[in-house]
Amino acid sequence: MEMCTIGARALGELQMQKGSDAMITIYDWFGYSVPIRERYRLIREAGFDGVLMWWSEDFGRGEEYRDAPQLAREAGLIIENIHAPIRDEHRLWDDDPIGEALVERYLQCVADCAAYEIPTMVVHLPSDSHPHTPLGLDRVRRIAELAERLGVNVALENLRNFNNLSYVLEQVDSPRVGFCYDSGHHDTNYPDKAPLAMYGPRLMALHLHDNNGSQAQHGLPLDGTIDWPATMRAVAATGYTGATALEPMNWDYEALTPQAFLHRAYEHAQRLDVLRRSATHA
């Protein structure tokens, strides 16, 4: 499939120009009713280098979500990763048609990453109230095998799933299966754990947001309760060279225009990036 303008090769070029740890990206579906082409123009004008994409028709994206890579690239944005659908995510371990359909959906996401020149997909493992099973582990290995064949990273995100996440990372020794660190979920669900210290060498993606406001999550960093100097020191200590990537929503920011929200998000991301780079060079 031929995709225009900035693809995986240009991502590498941009990283060489700026230094990969200076890149700043944002989740593209951050709220507001804005046409997708305009959304990407606003993200780029705010200063962001790239986007994280939701990869399904859910959350109002519609069937046109597959057009998003080309539209983002036309706006001058790189695509850092896609987020796999979360519908039925807890059924990955189950020996039934829903569980099998789910793993097929994830396999298609891996194939889509290769086709659209997107380096990484982010996946939710089931929560710890759904303990892992041998069948589920075999399914993750199937995903890993395809990811290795196609050269795609599969980043498993921390939510309420620390036991399942730890088990899979320990059992699936694949260079293409790693970890997506979500700051808000870490702070809320298991603040006594240190996933970045434990799995830092396998870090493949970041979801940085704060815990605050009516939803108690997905606020702009530095607006809530997370200790950001400590968090960015922990990120820096892993040696991760990917982007400083935000995953905020406009919950409790509705009084801001989309432009104002994005500019505030970029300013806060820059402050995180300074904390990260300062820790790296300390």
pLDDT in tens, 148-198: 999 999 999 999 999 999 999 999 999 999 999 999 999 999 999 999 999
R_g (Cα) of the chain, nearest Å = 18
**pLDDT band of 68, cuts 50, 70, 90:** very high
- What is the number of other CB atoms lying within 10 angstroms of the CB of residue 138? 10
Work out the average pLDDT over 228-257: 96
Cα distance between residue 91 and residue 133, in whole Å? 11
The tens digit of pLDDT for each residue in 104-116 reads 999 999 999 999 9
Share of the chain above pLDDT 90, in %: 86
pLDDT over 50 (residue 243):
yes
Work out the average pLDDT over 115-138: 98
Work out the average pLDDT over 5-15: 43
* pLDDT of 17: 39
Work out the average pLDDT over 201-206: 98
Weakest-pLDDT range from 55-69, 195-209, 230-244: 55-69
Bridge partners (DSSP) of residue 205 are 180
pLDDT over 90 (residue 205):
yes
Q: How far is CA 278 from CA 232, 240, 263, 265, in A?
A: 9, 14, 23, 20
* pLDDT of 280: 81
* pLDDT of 61: 83
**pLDDT band of 250, cuts 50, 70, 90:** very high
Token pair, residue 64, equals 């046109």
The tens digit of pLDDT for each residue in 29-43 reads 999 999 999 999 999
The tens digit of pLDDT for each residue in 69-82 reads 999 999 999 999 99
Work out the average pLDDT over 262-280: 95
Which alpha helices (H) appear in 117-241, and where do they start and end? 134-150, 162-171, 183-189, 195-199, 228-237
pLDDT over 50 (residue 6):
no
41: left (phi over 0), alpha (psi -120 to 50) or beta: alpha
From the list 1, 196, 4, 29, the residue with the least C-alpha distance to 111 is: 1
pLDDT over 50 (residue 226):
yes
Return the ∠ at Cα 185 (arms to 182 and 189), rounded to 5°: 140
DSSP-derived 3-state class of residue 84 = coil
Q: Whole-prediction pTM value?
A: 0.92
Work out the average pLDDT over 199-221: 93
